[in-house]
Amino acid sequence: MATLQLTVPSMNCSVCAEKISKAVKGIDPSAIIQADPATKLVNVKTIAANETVKQAIVSAGYPVN
């Protein structure tokens, strides 16, 4: 499992964090996600490719830096 740390500037609340988590779980149900709206950081432990994870978050409406 790889760990990635992504900055998601438009994640402003726990609902946003929930949507991001659901998007990642959609591509990897075993992923471990920590999304913190205060720091705008999302940490993901996943077997999915980095680009796939980023695309899932972008598709959920949250651009990734």
Cβ contacts of 51 within 8 Å, gap of 6 or more: none
The structure tokens listed for 4 are: 């990635």
Which of the four pLDDT bands, split at 50, 70 and 90, describes residue 21? very high
Domain ranges of the chain: 2-59
Distances (CA, A) of 2 to 23, 52, 53, 55, 61: 17, 13, 11, 16, 23
Q: What mean pLDDT, rounded, does the chain reach?
A: 97
Model's pTM, two decimal places? 0.94
CATH-assigned architecture of domain 2-59: 2-Layer Sandwich (3.30)
Q: What is the per-residue pLDDT across 30-59, written as a single tens digit (0 to 9) for each?
A: 999 999 999 999 999 999 999 999 999 999
The structure tokens listed for 52 are: 């796939």
Quick one: pLDDT at residue 1?
87
Task: Please give the residue that has the higher pLDDT: either 6 or 1.
Answer: 6
Q: Say how far apart CA 7 and CA 29 lie, in whole Å.
A: 21
Quick one: pLDDT at residue 7?
97
